[in-house]
Amino acid sequence: MTNRAAWTRREALALAGLGLAGAALPLGCRHAMDATRTDDMERKDVKDVVVVGGGPGGVSAALALGRGRKKVLVCDAGTPRNAAAEEVHTYLTRDGIPPREFRRVAWEQMRPYDVELREARVLDVERVGTVFRVALEGGGVVEARRVLLATGMVDVMRELPGYSDLWGKAIFQCPFCHGWEIQDRAWGVLATNEVSLDFAVMLTGWTRDLVVFVMDGFEVPADKRALLEKAGVRLETRRIRGLIAAGEKLEAVELEDGTRVPREALFDRPPQRQSSLVQRLGLELNEEGFVKLKGPGETSVPGIYAAGDLGTRAQAAIVAASAGMLAAGMLNHDLNLERAGAAHGPAQG
């Protein structure tokens, strides 16, 4: 039986508001903000929430917050992680939609609500009293009661000739996003650890023509070699010299001795890092470098929430949107509770 002793009354109510009261979600302690009435709570120019990032996680949160009658500003620098992708996939009712069209539809549906989009990069976030001051590129400053980070992760391109040019066009991370369109073709996997070897075996559900290219001197254990052989996956341990392409199409992987292995697609999970903003905020990260979340969206800094790829290796548009919705639910309840506490006394956990 799940231990719910760590749950606070606010958590239970917030999850009930999302229809999740019966869900056994392990949540940590919540960070109560100052529940004393201040002039900041009544100022019309203060946003309830500034959302940093206009991807699926950010706009999903903005929609939920808008429907919760919150004043929201979404700041989007205009450089989405899926910029190289032609279509969004495995997103129910939107499978195959181009990212730009996805964005247009999202903002069309935001019209009835008090949600504003501003194409501006957020440079810094500073807590001043009961509000956050959000500094924007160009000198603008916005004040908000809460901040939701939906900045995604920064993919670090491998120093491999041809890699950057093929990223998102012939080099992919997720087979659920791209595998159907290129099924039964010649694929390759760049392997740097045992997890990537298991990932390669999983890819045989889409194609049987699969080669694993060992990277960074990684030693493949004997049991994994046997697993790959049994799955019909070829193992290539020679060092890669570069990728041979014709425009945006991959033709072959060139090895150190000049051998060219014909391939049409590569799957890889390159190193990732947090955005410079997240790094400056000093949020607690887990051992993999993702933002550590104590509950739906809650970071180690009170009043700053996070949703989407920056908090998980499970990175997909629909997953980010779900995380944004959950974070917005907790945010909305947190703000409502604060207002009630300001008028009627501090809420009890």
DSSP per-residue letters across 315-329: --HHHHHHHHHHHHH
Residue 10 maps to a domain: no
Q: What is the DSSP letter of 287?
A: T
162, 165, 186, 202, 243 from 247: Cα distances, Å: 10, 9, 18, 29, 12
Rounded CA-CA distance 183/334 in Å is: 46
Residue 20 maps to a domain: no
Examine the pLDDT at 17 and tell me if it is beyond 60.
Answer: no
What number of H helices and E strands is found in the chain? Answer: 9, 17
259 and 293 fall within a common domain? no
Query: Which amino acid, one-letter code, is at 249?
Result: K
259 and 276 fall within a common domain? no
> Bridge-partner residues for 136, per DSSP?
122
Domain count, the chain: 2
Residue 23 maps to a domain: no
Q: 129 vs 39, which has greater pLDDT?
A: 129
Beta-carbon-side half-sphere exposure of residue 73 (alpha carbons within 13 Å):
24
The two tokens of residue 106 are 């999202």
247 and 285 fall within a common domain? no
Contacts of 332 (CB under 8 A, 6+ apart): 14, 17, 64, 65, 68, 70
Residue 25 maps to a domain: no
Q: For residue range 170-213, list pLDDT tens digits in order.
A: 999 999 999 999 999 999 999 999 999 999 999 999 999 999 99
Work out the pLDDT band at 40, boundaries 50, 70, 90: low
Rounded CA-CA distance 38/16 in Å is: 29
| Cβ pair 115, 65 in contact under 8 A | yes
254 and 281 fall within a common domain? no
> For 289, left (φ over 0), alpha (ψ -120 to 50), or beta?
left
Residue 282 maps to a domain: yes
Residue 197 maps to a domain: yes
Closest-CA residue to 18 (of 291, 294, 292, 297): 297
Strands (E), 119-268: 122-128, 131-136, 141-149, 154-155, 171-172, 187-191, 210-214, 234-236, 240-246, 249-255, 260-262, 265-267
145 and 184 fall within a common domain? no
148 and 287 fall within a common domain? yes
Point out the domain boundary residue: 233, 248, 267.
267
Measured over the CA atoms of residue 307, residue 284, residue 26 and residue 125, the dihedral's sign is negative
50 and 150 fall within a common domain? yes
61 and 77 fall within a common domain? yes
| Cβ pair 76, 56 in contact under 8 A | no
Work out the pLDDT band at 6, boundaries 50, 70, 90: very low
Q: For residue range 43-88, list pLDDT tens digits in order.
A: 678 999 999 999 999 999 999 999 999 999 999 987 665 556 678 8
Residue 17 maps to a domain: no
Rounded CA-CA distance 142/120 in Å is: 12
Q: Give the DSSP per-residue string, 49-85.
A: EEEE--SHHHHHHHHHHHHTT--EEEE--S--TTTT-
57 and 83 fall within a common domain? yes
Residue 193 maps to a domain: yes
Q: Give the range of the structural domain holding residue 229, as residue numbers without chain letter.
A: 164-267
Point out the domain boundary residue: 267, 292, 315.
267
151 and 296 fall within a common domain? yes
How much is the pTM? 0.82
- Residue/partner pairs of 22-30 with CB below 8 Å, 24 or more apart: 25/295, 25/296, 26/2, 27/294, 27/295, 27/296, 28/294, 28/295, 28/298, 29/294, 30/294, 30/295, 30/298, 30/334, 30/349
| Cβ pair 124, 131 in contact under 8 A | no
Work out the pLDDT band at 3, boundaries 50, 70, 90: very low
| Cβ pair 233, 211 in contact under 8 A | yes
The end-to-end CA distance of the chain, in Å, is: 22
Point out the domain boundary residue: 252, 267, 282.
267
206 and 243 fall within a common domain? yes
189 and 169 fall within a common domain? yes
Task: Return the SS3 of 13.
Answer: helix
Rounded CA-CA distance 150/170 in Å is: 26
Q: 267 vs 315, which has greater pLDDT?
A: 267
> Bridge-partner residues for 49, per DSSP?
72, 146
Helical packing angle, 222-230 and 194-202, nearest 10° = 10
pLDDT at 330: 95
